[in-house]
């Protein structure tokens, strides 16, 4: 089955700096790669996703890149703000066929 | 309207008891899931239900059993609770096909004492 590795497990950045979180996956059939943000005591919520027919996707300060050959994808957050502090999860699945398999999460702290 | 709702939000119970967590979604999704989030925040898939059929069952103890009375509900029954079952349990749902964003419920924090 799918295995998703995520790094780093914790990340501290100064406000205004960029943050990068990286994930690798094992199943070459996976074609859907979402990123979830989980604030303390809350549910995970989708912030951005990418499908295997696209190499990069942006939404304001957030971007995701995908390298299918290397089987890795990354989340980039620019101009970080304190409210970006949360746990971020990457995930992978075969869209419509398998459930999301999550990485172990990255605790991002943005220091004001 | 809450898209995916689960009850109760908190559940404290003694070892050996049997408990249930309910989940309902009003999104018209055809697939529902249960995830377990342990103290280290790892999110692990437990069950996946599609059109009332269990399609994936991870290696969870058979004390855990999902029950789906209809497409909008997927309840989780746990028998003979153990201390190690303490965790946050999330229900989620998605639609089959290309648009497969999973929507999560608010979670149920289960504490076994």
Best of B38, B45, B58, B106 to substitute, by most chain A Cβ atoms within 10 angstroms, is B45
∠ CA A96-A97-A99, rounded to 5°: 90
Closest CA to A106 of A44, A30, A27, A25: A44
**Hey, are the CB atoms on B98 and A98 less than 8 Å from each other?**
no
Residue in B45, B105, B106 closest to A99 by CB: B45
Q: What average pLDDT does the segment A27-39 reach?
A: 95
Q: What is the pLDDT of residue B97?
A: 66
Q: Reduce the DSSP state of residue B61 to 3 states and report it.
A: coil
DSSP assignment string, chain A: ---EEEE-SEEEEETTS-EEEEEEES-TT--EEEEEEE-TTS--EEEEEEETT-SEEEETTEEEEEETTTTEEEEEE-S--GGG-EEEEEEEB-TTTS--EE---EEEEEE-
Q: What average pLDDT does the segment A107-112 reach?
A: 96
Contact (Cβ atoms closer than 8 angstroms) between residue A19 and residue A80: yes
Q: Which residue has the tokens 């027919």?
A: A53
Q: Does B2 touch chain A (CB under 8 A)?
A: no
Q: Which residues pair with B82 in a beta bridge?
A: none
Residue in B33, B41, B104 closest to A43 by CB: B104
In this prediction, what percent of chain A has a pLDDT beyond 90?
Answer: 89
Q: What is the pLDDT of residue B33?
A: 93
How far, in Å, CA of B57 to CA of B76, rounded? 13
Taking contacts as CB-CB distances below 8 angstroms, the residues of chain A near B33 are 99-100
**Hey, are the CB atoms on B43 and A51 less than 8 Å from each other?**
no
Chain B nearest CA to A86, separation (Å): 12
Q: What average pLDDT does the segment A76-80 reach?
A: 98
* Structure confidence at residue B100 as a pLDDT band (50, 70, 90): confident
Q: What average pLDDT does the segment B51-68 reach?
A: 82
Q: What average pLDDT does the segment A58-71 reach?
A: 96
| Residue B58, pLDDT above cutoff 80 | no
In this prediction, what percent of chain B has a pLDDT beyond 90?
Answer: 68
Between A6-10, B19-23, B46-50, the lowest mean confidence (pLDDT) is in: B46-50
Cis peptide before A92 (omega within 30 of 0): no
Q: What average pLDDT does the segment B11-37 reach?
A: 95
Write the CB contacts of B59 (distance below 8 Å, at least 6 apart in sequence).
Answer: none
Q: What average pLDDT does the segment B31-44 reach?
A: 92
Q: Reduce the DSSP state of residue B70 to 3 states and report it.
A: coil
How far, in Å, CA of B59 to CA of B69, rounded? 23
With the CA atoms of A108, A86, B20 and B23 taken in that order, what torsion angle do they form, in degrees rounded to the nearest 10?
-130
**Hey, are the CB atoms on B41 and A32 less than 8 Å from each other?**
no
| Residue B1, pLDDT above cutoff 70 | no
The dihedrals phi and psi of A72, each to the nearest 5 degrees, come to: -140, 155
- Residue-averaged pLDDT of chain A: 95
| Residue B25, pLDDT above cutoff 80 | yes
């Amino acid at each position: 089955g799918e295995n998703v590795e995520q790094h780093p497990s914790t990340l501290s950045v100064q406000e205004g700096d960029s943050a990068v979180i990286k994930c690798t996956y094992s199943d070459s059939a996976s074609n859907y790669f979402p990123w979830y943000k989980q604030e303390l005591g809350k549910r995970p919520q989708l912030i951005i996703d990418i499908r295997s027919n696209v190499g990069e996707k942006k939404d304001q300060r957030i971007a995701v890149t995908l390298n299918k050959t290397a089987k890795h994808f990354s989340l980039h957050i620019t101009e970080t703000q304190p409210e970006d502090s949360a746990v971020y999860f990457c995930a992978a699945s075969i869209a419509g066929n398998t459930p999301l398999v999550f990485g172990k999460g990255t605790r991002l702290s943005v220091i004001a | 309207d809450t898209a995916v709702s689960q009850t109760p939000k908190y559940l404290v119970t003694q070892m050996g008891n049997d408990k249930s967590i309910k989940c309902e979604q009003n999104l018209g999704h055809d697939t529902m899931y249960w995830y377990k989030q342990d103290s280290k925040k790892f999110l692990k898939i437990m069950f996946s239900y599609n059109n009332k059929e269990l399609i994936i069952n991870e290696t969870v103890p058979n004390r855990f059993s999902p029950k789906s009375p209809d497409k909008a509900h997927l309840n989780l029954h746990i028998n003979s609770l153990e201390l190690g079952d303490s965790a946050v349990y999330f229900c989620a749902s998605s639609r089959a096909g290309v648009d497969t964003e999973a929507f999560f419920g608010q979670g149920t924090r289960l504490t076994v004492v």
